[in-house]
Structures are given as structure tokens and as C-alpha cells.
Amino acid sequence: MRCCNEGKPLPPDPFFAGEGLDRADHLRPDPDAIAALHHHEEARQLEWENGAPAIDEAGRLRWGAVDGAPAVLLGLNHGSPRFSALPDGDAPANAYAHFQLLSLLDPAEAPIFAAALSLANWHRRHRFCSVCGQPTDPNRGGWSRICGGCGAEHYPRVGGVVIMLAEHDGRLLLGRQPQYPAGRYSALAGFVEPGESIEAAVARELAEEAGVSVGQVRYLTSQPWPFPNSLMIGAWARADNDSLRIDTNELDDARWFSRDEVVAALANEPHASFQPPPRTAIARTLLERWVDGLK
């Protein structure tokens, strides 16, 4: 919980955001140092289950003894090495299949879960060189891959996604994607395109999905999202008017909601006009901050 506004706690940071492990970048280029850490008496290796980091009944990540020479040095936990092997099998199909799993996860463990899964997803999808097509191998403690054919080094990619609250006259625009559970509305979102600023992406997505034009755009907060390798960039935008032209290829519906409606939804009141996004979604953090006055 972040502290404090006149004695009142501020809304929490987005799920998956936070410090996580000391990433120990200075160790990554040194294979001898990493090999020595494999034998460190406090070294531990992340366990995997169904393509994702394994979680115990208390919501903590499961760690076991180091097995051989795992490919990824996730980092240091108060000086104790934390490793991960590259998991077998497919990545989780999509985030929605994992919301139940995520609902069990201790928020303090979530940044490590996100880093391990996002990095594993990148390795799963980058086994061949995008320059020459030859196989690549993990390098730099698992934080890059190097091509055995042409020598090109490839680094993990993060895909920028804008997710935004458009506001007009005290009301917020929220939408429904077809795969959402019944009644849920959430912030509109879309990928940042090459050559585009955050502000331009927010304006374009709102225009494309809902026919809304915006003036001022303000960055609010961000969230790593490991399904498979995104960075959610939370923003607020002032809409020029409240007329809508919904792209039904992207959204089932979009509506303007009053502050009272958002407050009732976040409180899970029985007659609330919509179901809010889960706590693991940055959209919920954005709604909480908006209700709190965007502090």
C-alpha cells in the first residue's frame, strides 16, 4: 500500500508492479559468476506448473533446489540467487484463463511472477534468429539470446499497450470486449504502434473503438502484463464530447458511467450498473484512482 494522503491510504499500485528481485544486471555478462551462484547455499529455482510459475496454498511462489545450470538468473533476493529453467510446453493461452490463478497470488510475489513468465514467454517465441533463421541460445543469464549462425544478439521485447479512461463532464467511458464475463465493463485499450507517442495512441484508440475525440491526455501509472510480454500504460483523457460510434468488431458495447456508478461497482454493490475489472487488472487501479481524485 502506498502512503498516504492526509492520513488516508492511497489506492494500491497496479498488480504486478513493484520492485521484485534485484535484477543484478552486472552479473549477467559473467558466466563464471553465474555458475558460482548455482552452487550458492541459498540459491533457489522457480517451479513451474501448466506453463506458469507455480503458486502454493498461501499464494507464494514455489521454489526448489537448483537443478543443474538453469538458463535464467532472475535476480537476487537479499543477496540469495533466484534462478529459473525454461519451462516445457506452451505459454498460457491468454490472461483470462489465468485470472483464477492470479487471484490466489500474493501481490508481493506478483512482480517476480510477471518477470519470470514474461521472460519465459519471450524465450518460447524466439528460438530462431529473426536475422538469418538459425537457432538461438540463451545468453547473459537468460536476458538475451545469441544466434549460432550470424552472431546477432536478441534482447527481450516489451509491447506497449495504452489503456485509458476517457472523461466527459464527470462521466467515464468504459467498454465491453466480447470475452468479458457477463456485466463487466473496463477501460478501453490498444497497442502502441511504431512511430506513435503514448498520447497519440490514446487518441487514436479512443477514436477507432468509440468514435471519441480527446484533447488533454495525462499519464497515470503502468503495469507489466506477462500475457505474453506487454507493458500496460495507464492514462486519462479529456473527451471533447460524449457522442459514441462503437466499433463492433472490437467492442460489444461502450457507455458513459457516472462517479456514483463507478463507486457502486468498485464496492460490489448488488445493484451496481456494471461489474468492475478484477484487482489484477490495471483498469481497476485506474478506476480507484479516478474515484480518489486522480492523486
**Site size for Zn ion (CB under 5 A):** 8
Query: 29 or 149: whose CB is closer to Zn ion?
Result: 149
According to the binding rule CB under 5 A, does residue 181 interact with Zn ion? no
Name residue 84's amino acid.
S
According to the binding rule CB under 5 A, does residue 150 interact with Zn ion? yes
Binding letters toward Zn ion, positions 77-116, x by CB under 5 A? ----------------------------------------
Name the segment binding Zn ion (CB under 5 A); options: 24-32, 60-68, 98-106, 139-147: 139-147
According to the binding rule CB under 5 A, does residue 131 interact with Zn ion? yes
According to the binding rule CB under 5 A, does residue 144 interact with Zn ion? no
Binding letters toward Zn ion, positions 199-228, x by CB under 5 A? ------------------------------
Using the CB atoms, write b or e for 253-270: b if 16+ within 10 Å. Answer: ebbbbeeebbebbbeeee
Beta pairing partners, 257: 172
Contact pick of 21, 147, 232, 281 for Zn ion (by CB under 5 A): 147
Beta pairing partners, 232: 161, 223
Query: 64 or 149: whose CB is closer to Zn ion?
Result: 149
Q: How far apart are CA 73 and CA 252, in angstroms?
A: 43
Q: What SS3 class is residue 233?
A: strand
| DSSP secondary structure, 114-130, as one string | HHHHHHHHHHHH-SB-T
The beta strand positions in 34-143, using DSSP E, are 44-46, 48-49, 52-53, 63-64, 72-77, 80-84, 136-139
Residues that bind Zn ion (CB under 5 A): 129, 131-132, 134, 147, 149-150, 152
